[in-house]
Structure 1
Amino acid sequence: MWELVTHPSNLIFSVCICLMLLLGILELILLLLGGGSQGFLEQFLPDDLSNTQHAEIGIDADQSIFTQVLDWLYLGRVPLFVWLIIFLTIYGLTGFIIQSIFHHFTAHFFSAWIIAPACLFLSMPLVRYSALIIARILPQDESTAIYSEELIGRTAVIILGEAKINSPAQAKVEDQFGQTHYVLVEPEQDEIFTQGQSLVLTQRTKIGFQAIIL
């Protein structure tokens, strides 16, 4: 075990785990002193990302690829300090687990130049889903703002025009807070939706949603 932790190929993972522990101790000290690091760390998030916590459904309209990647990782949806703890923990443990398994069968370790970027790639989905779970557990500020994906699965009614593939019509849909949203809807299959028809939203598109007949 000690060889696993101290081997040069695993140094980056050891640093991640140590940094995670140090951040935890630092946060504990700050909390005891009546403060915290979260407000300080949040300022390093891009403005268009940090504002998404309080944005209405239109937030998906114009986002850079970089911002979309950060949003996919749930940065801005959980406190940045918490996200860093999640990332450091998962990245470090992923590296140790892979290196341990490889060493068990070969008595060697992957080169740091190979394992470090590989683990970064492999750990990102785990970081995302862990952050998603934490975001649902942590108490949030009272807000009726939602992400557009939260409307998927809800019933919408066509209120203006006819909807065809690549030719959406306007529909209204209520969210979990009882608020009405007006969205563009087109059929998922080759069919036509007419005014007054009830639909189920199935997935997002670049400009609105696809739907199927209820």
Structure 2
Amino acid sequence: MVEFLFTQANLPFSISLFLVLLLGISEVLSLMLGYSLVGALDNCAPVDADIETSFTGFTGVSGWLCINRLPLLIWFVLVLISFSFVGYVSNYLALIMTQQMFPQAISLPIALVFTAISCRYVGAAIARVLPKNESNAVSIDTLLGSVGTVTLGCAIKGNPSEALVRDKHQQRHYILVEPEMSGVEFNTGTQVILLKREGTVWSAARFDS
């Protein structure tokens, strides 16, 4: 069994499992010191749980993978465990049926695909049972008047781009913004103020501090 776990074909999956163990030990030690890695990483997470999953780009992918529904550390552990489990199982089945394990060029893509599926469905199941902090929950409409920063692409009227906005609790929201008027462009890094929302897109104006 030990030889199977640490063979060259299973090396990426063994490293992934070792990282899970390392994160678990780190979390226990941090809790003993009165500090939680789960909370710390969640505060640094680039997406917020209230964002609508119908957004395109990064927010659409993050919504499908449930990044925005789980604390970042828990999501990362789910990825590592799923990756290791699928890799080990696929190589074990290959060993039984063909007397040899998959090369990494085959096992890694298989593991990545099923890891994504695990994040989608197992992550959603975990999110449903995790306690939620309702005191910090905000409606997306409360972002009206907030100042955000365009993080991706160039926004023009009719072609929105992503922007990062913080609510009153300093939680991060990735939203879609477009200029209120035609002929205006918001390049990456432009600060904008949110004026109104239509569906998933916010109309905004350039913010001059």
Report the TM range for the smaller structure's normalisation.
Answer: 0.5 to 0.7
- Within the alignment, does 1:140 sit opposite 2:140 as a pair? no
- Within the alignment, does 1:30 sit opposite 2:30 as a pair? yes
Give 1:1-214 correspondences, 5 Å limit: 1-42=1-42, 44-46=44-46, 49-50=47-48, 53-54=49-50, 59=52, 63-142=55-134
Give the deviation of 1:139 after TM superposition: 0.9
The alignment-based identity, stated in percent, is 31
Number of aligned residues: 141
1:6-38 residue CA offsets vs partner (Å, 9 max, x unmatched): 111110000111110110111011111100112
Equivalent position amino acid for 1:15 in 2 = I
Q: 1:85 to 1:146 in 2, by over 3 A?
A: farther
CA distance in 2, matches of 1:71, 1:45: 13
1:108-167 residue CA offsets vs partner (Å, 9 max, x unmatched): 1111122112210122112222211211111111156689xxxxxxxxxxxxxxxxxxxx
The Cα RMSD (Å) is 2.3
Calculate the TM-score normalised by the size of structure 1: 0.59
Q: 1:7 to 1:60 in 2, by over 3 A?
A: closer
Q: Secondary structure at the match of 1:31?
A: helix
CA distance in 2, matches of 1:15, 1:119: 14
Q: Structure 2: which 5+ runs fail to align?
A: 141-198, 201-209
CA distance in 2, matches of 1:90, 1:26: 20
Equivalent position amino acid for 2:73 in 1 = F
Q: 1:81 to 1:60 in 2, by over 3 A?
A: closer
Equivalent position amino acid for 1:92 in 2 = S
Which structure's CA Rg is the greater one?
Answer: 1
Give the deviation of 1:91 after TM superposition: 1.0
Give the deviation of 1:84 after TM superposition: 1.0
